[in-house]
Amino acid sequence: MEHPVKGIDHVFLLVQDLDRSQQQFERLGFTVSPRGMHSASKGTANHTIMFPNDYFELLGIVTPVEGNAARRAVLESNGEGLSAIACRISDAEAAKTALTKLGIATGPVGHFERPVPLPDGGTAPAAFATLPFDDSERPFGTLFMCQHKTRETVWLPELLDHANGATGLSEVFAQSETPAEDAERFARLYAAGAVTRTNSGAQVTTGPDSTGITLLTPAALAARFPGIDLSSLPKHGFAALSIHVKDLQATEDYLKSNAIPYSPTARGIALAPKYCSGMILEFAPQ
């Protein structure tokens, strides 16, 4: 049976104040999509930040309802920040069948859509099918699969160009006291999943043309992002997102022009969680 999960489709931040987060990321030089309102039963809304092959989104609660009680609990316990990974699949129903046969537990398939404002002033639906991994399969965070039924209304051309030069996801970082063990649990959820152990953690390959997941001990995460205050991050969970940029110097110049402080890293430059809705954000050259 072929494993149906081919990589990382997108990640999302769970944020306290969606208006504030939108303003933060626009100030950082990202082109942020208009707000997408979810159903009344979900009580949530989002903004996406799109790249040619992947994206990240800002997800916020606009109306407290039973359907978002779990998300409100996460905000209460962990605060805002990088919260979830959505995995690439072509068909949610088929993925559920295949994963069951492979001994990987999942939840029910869900179908939903949201209206997307179009450049001409109209709207069109963005439709999805989602499939969550069972809680027993993931070491932490939210991990689910996403089938895009209407890619043309999500990957709108006018959303792909960013003033800061960002071009795509580079790496997801997580903080863990047991990085090697957690990495093995993540890796089995991907068709091309593989683990490379390091002295201070482990790296998970998730698929071709897909960002990987790097798990680091708290001390190693602090060394990876020197000068950044990590005290607000969950002790066991997703912590940072690295983004590819066309020209790192141009990105630095953009941040300087907006008086946004940053710290150098081994690969590029990083911004503290207070500027990025609760996560560390790194810009790195392609």
Query: How does 255-267 read in b/e, with b if 16+ C-beta sit within 10 Å?
Result: beeeebebeebee
Q: What pLDDT sits at residue 40? A: 86
Q: Specify the DSSP element, H or E, that contains 69.
A: helix 69-78
pLDDT tens, position by position, 72-96: 999 999 999 999 999 999 999 999 9
**Are 111 and 39 contacting, i.e. CB atoms less than 8 angstroms apart?**
no
Q: Is the per-residue pLDDT at 116 higher than 90? A: no
Q: Is the per-residue pLDDT at 119 higher than 80? A: no
Q: What pLDDT sits at residue 75? A: 93
d(CA 270, CA 262): 5
Q: What pLDDT sits at residue 120? A: 78
Chain-centroid distance, C-alpha 74: 16
Q: What pLDDT sits at residue 59? A: 97
Average pLDDT in the 115-143 region? 91
Residue 34: DSSP 8-state:
P
Assign 221 to helix, strand or coil: helix
Task: Give just the sign of the alpha carbon dihedral 72, 77, 83, 86.
Answer: negative
Banded pLDDT at 121 (limits 50, 70, 90): confident
CA–CA distances in Å: residue 78 to residues 40, 122, 231, 235, 242: 25, 38, 11, 9, 21
Structural domains in the chain plus CATH codes:
8-159 (3.10.180.10), 166-285 (3.10.180.10)
Q: Is the per-residue pLDDT at 237 higher than 80? A: yes
d(CA 169, CA 56): 8
Average pLDDT in the 183-190 region? 98
